[in-house]
Amino acid sequence: MNPCPKFKESTWDRYNRDLMPAELVCFNPSCRTRYPITEVIYNCPRCGALLEAVYPPAPDPGHLKKLWRERRMNNTPLDQSGVWRYREFIPFLDSIDVVVSLREGNTPVLNAPKAAAYGGLKRLAFKHQGFNPTGSFKDNGMTCGVSQGVRLGMKRVACVSTGNTSASMAAYASAAGLDPIIFIPHGNISYGKLAQALEYGARTLQVEANFDQILALVRTLAERTGIYLLNSMNPFRIEGQTTIMVELMDQRDWRAPDWVVLPGGNLGNTSAFGKGLRQMLKMGLIERSPRLAVIQAEGSAPFYNLMQTEARDTLTAVKHPETLATAIRIGDPVSWPKALHEVTTSGGVVEKVTEQEIADAKALIGACGIGCEPASAATLAGIRKLTAAGVIDRDADVVAVLTGNVLKDPDYIYRYHTGQLKAPNGTQIRPAFGNQPLVVPNDPERIEALLADNTRES
């Protein structure tokens, strides 16, 4: 096991230790049944709704801001983590000795003028979660989920994944000395992501079913065998991902943007971001909350479809979700009730974009010197649609979250730039920003002439 070493306890650590303990609470407003933080449950046993962690009152926000900023200068492992640096925000552990950290978080906010212009904005910044240890935002949540698993004495952990979750869980579980078991849809995963899971030592089972069917299967197996689940229905996964917004606000000196735009798949990030923003507002860390804009792929857009209805009490699953952006190819997102609450509370919106729009947006982001996986690029594609429709103002202060590293799906990139990329329905995707490699002779004069020509083939 690789828990973080012990460190000197702060005044707030002692203060928090003496308060009432954290609890798990049913998210259903008509239920709100409370459970011990150490109970191994993913849904409310009484009504079946999702659960969330709730905490004691926090101290003075000015004290927290000062404490968190000072920790940036500290070399202790927990303070070097962009999640556990903010541990007062997620105080669900009774001892930090069980924390498993790979120095996650600490991801940059990158300005992208070219992407801003493409999106119809005067300015745009990307909060790039691809800078995490395994290359995606899942590390922010997995450090918390795996640490809770260690606290509970679990030996085996599992997840269903289209890629990023499996890579992250395999790394953190192996670092903790746990046995990681991964279930993936057979033939529906990027090899860049699958390679990570294999490299990190996970037992990988390819099931002949889609993501949503496999999740139901694995939940049954978990009940029978005592495996600890680390998909986004695990409330501690969501807790870790709330710190993405805390770090963002810290990086912006606690000035909230007008909009935070993110891709929508299983909707764990939407749930986490909304909760984090609400919690910061309640604690007095920020003066106002940004609006959330969730962008889904057209072929996997059940949440978008839900938002077009008036009742919004039941989500209709997409039975056969399709998109080349595999990280958001989910037809029955488990976190939709939480996501619905967060989008509605923030005054946000949900949009969908085509495969062509995602592909071109991804290439445009790359042209800014900022690489990302396909699902991440749904953000810029969505921004372009929302500004064109007047939903997002051209002068708005917008931060888009890029969820994964550019090398998560390299085949997609090569096929796009060489004109070989096709949508799941077989439609050819035209590379509006293609950058095809050229074959040249071993002839300096001809290469010099070629380089002198400023035109480039697409």
pLDDT digits (tens, 9 = 90+) for 30-53: 999 999 999 999 999 999 999 999
Domain ranges of the chain: 109-134+236-417
CB-CB contact of 306 with 316 (8 Å): yes
Q: Name the CATH topology of 109-134+236-417.
A: Rossmann fold (3.40.50)
Other CB atoms within a 10 A radius of the CB of residue 80 amount to 18
Least confident residue range of 14-28, 336-350, 352-366: 14-28
371 contacts 406 by C-beta, under 8 angstroms: yes
Average pLDDT score over residue span 100-122: 98
Q: Determine the 3-state secondary structure of 242 from DSSP.
A: helix
* 125, containing H or E segment: strand 125-128
What is the model's pLDDT at position 18? 46
Query: Above pLDDT 70, what percent of the chain?
Result: 94
CA distances from 452 to 17, 226, 442, 445 (A): 68, 65, 17, 11
Q: How confident is the model at residue 209 (pLDDT cuts 50, 70, 90)?
A: confident
Rounded-to-integer distance, Cα 302 and Cα 316, Å: 6
Instruction: Give ∠ CA 193-270-291 in degrees, rounded to 5.
Output: 135
The per-residue pLDDT for 17 is 46
pLDDT at 12 over 50: no
Most confidently modeled range among 2-11, 206-215, 223-232, 384-393 = 384-393
The arithmetic mean of pLDDT across residues 354-376, rounded, is 98
Q: What is the DSSP letter of 161?
A: -
Please check the confidence at residue 59 and state whether its pLDDT lies above 80.
no
pLDDT of 122 reads 98
Q: Mapping DSSP to helix (H, G, I), strand (E, B) and coil, where does residue 39 land? A: coil
CA distance 225 to 216: 15
Phi, psi dihedral angles at 372 (to 5 degrees)? -155, 165
Q: What end-to-end distance do the CA atoms of the chain give, in Å? A: 51
| pLDDT band at residue 454 using 50, 70 and 90 as cut-offs | low
- pLDDT surpassing 80 at residue 363: yes
The SS3 assignment for 429 reads coil
Q: What is the mean pLDDT of the segment spanning 326-350? A: 95
Q: How confident is the model at residue 136 (pLDDT cuts 50, 70, 90)?
A: very high
For 350, the enclosing helix (H) or strand (E) is strand 349-353
Rounded Cα distance, 138 and 244, in Å:
11
pLDDT at 194: 81
Residue 404: closest CA among 131, 191, 136: 136
Would the pLDDT of 165 be above 70? yes
Helix locations, 95-234, DSSP H: 113-119, 138-151, 164-176, 191-199, 211-225
Low-confidence winner among 252-256, 281-285, 339-343, 447-451 (lowest mean pLDDT): 447-451
Are 416 and 362 in contact, with CB atoms under 8 Å apart?
A: yes
The label of the residue with tokens 């429709």 reads: 389
Q: Which pLDDT band holds residue 188 (cuts at 50, 70, 90)?
A: low
DSSP 8-state class, residue 202: -
Range scoring the smallest mean pLDDT among 199-208, 325-334, 448-457:
448-457
For all residues of the chain together, what is the average pLDDT? 92
Split at pLDDT 50, 70, 90, the class of 56 is confident
The sheet with strand 398-402 has its strands ordered as 109-111, 125-128, 398-402, 259-263, 291-297, 349-353
